[in-house]
Amino acid sequence: MSENMVVIVTGANRGIGLAICELILKTNQNVKLYAASRAGADLGLKSAGSGSIKYPKLDVTKDEDIKQLAEDIKREDGQISVLINNAGVNTYPEHTPESVKQMLDVNYRGTYKMCKAFIPLLSDSGRIVNMSSVGSQLKIYSQHNAARFRNTGSYEDVEKIADDYMEAVKAKKELASGFGDKGQGYSVSKACVNAITAILAKENSGLTINACCPGWVDTDMGGIMGKPPKRPIDGAKIPVKLGFGDISGTTGRYWANPGISDKGDGQVMAW
């Protein structure tokens, strides 16, 4: 059994995920960090205290990978303290049924599967942080679909919205179906993340489960739309705060800064 705080970060090999790992290790002396990535690569991270680092191979779209990691951690550590679901993909400007499915499978379904697998292993005061995006704030959707997202009460409700979006993409009727113009797959996947975050928080009242937008960060993904103003370490501030800081027990909410260029550590925002 581990004597350190056990933490999992997915998509840890680069960008914001790597910066999250670095900031956790810098500000927490006693952490056993599972820095997970699809390749399971050694990232050369260093602990500032008595903690340790492991580099599990994890593809969040593969049930067997998630199951194996959960079994390994249960056997070695018994429980975890913090799960940060950072793994994500943005295929823009590619917009095909296949690329949209990939974003839904990684960003939304992968996040949900990780939550369901590790909630049973979370300590009584455990926390989950789900990475979202400013595009999840529903401004691009019809009033009807925005209400559908906000009023979801179950995973099945969210899955129905995701399925409806996929059908609209296949028929090339996203705008007519109230999902905004084409190319919104990433935003839809992150709106689904916000919805399941609220649902999981309600279902697990003893835990602290939140979603957040790190802002516009200078990473491979962030650079798709131009030159981002923030460094990865700036983007790590909000998720690390939600995982370790004083947030007064707030749960089931979406956190961000007022502007995507702002470098603060976030606040609760409407989505």
For residue 160, tell me if it sits in a domain: no
Segment (H or E) for 224 = none
For residue 31, tell me if it sits in a domain: yes
Q: What is the residue-wise DSSP string for 28-52?
A: -SSEEEEE-BSS--------SSS-E
Can you tell me whether residue 246 is helix, strand or coil? coil
Domain ranges, residue 11: 5-91+105-133+194-269
For residue 126, tell me if it sits in a domain: yes
For residue 153, tell me if it sits in a domain: no
| Number of domains making up the chain | 1
Write out the chain's pLDDT in tens, 271 residues.
Answer: 456 899 999 999 999 999 999 999 999 989 999 999 999 999 999 988 888 999 999 999 999 999 999 999 999 999 999 999 999 999 989 999 999 999 999 999 999 999 999 999 999 999 999 999 988 899 999 999 999 999 999 999 999 999 999 999 999 999 999 999 989 999 999 999 999 999 999 999 999 999 999 976 667 666 566 667 678 899 999 999 999 999 999 999 999 999 888 888 999 999 9
The CATH number given to whatever domain includes residue 215 is: 3.40.50.720
Q: CA angle at residue 117 from 124 to 138, to 5 degrees?
A: 90
For residue 178, tell me if it sits in a domain: no
For residue 159, tell me if it sits in a domain: no
For residue 152, tell me if it sits in a domain: no
Specify whether the CB–CB gap between 107 and 190 falls below 8 A.
yes
For residue 189, tell me if it sits in a domain: no
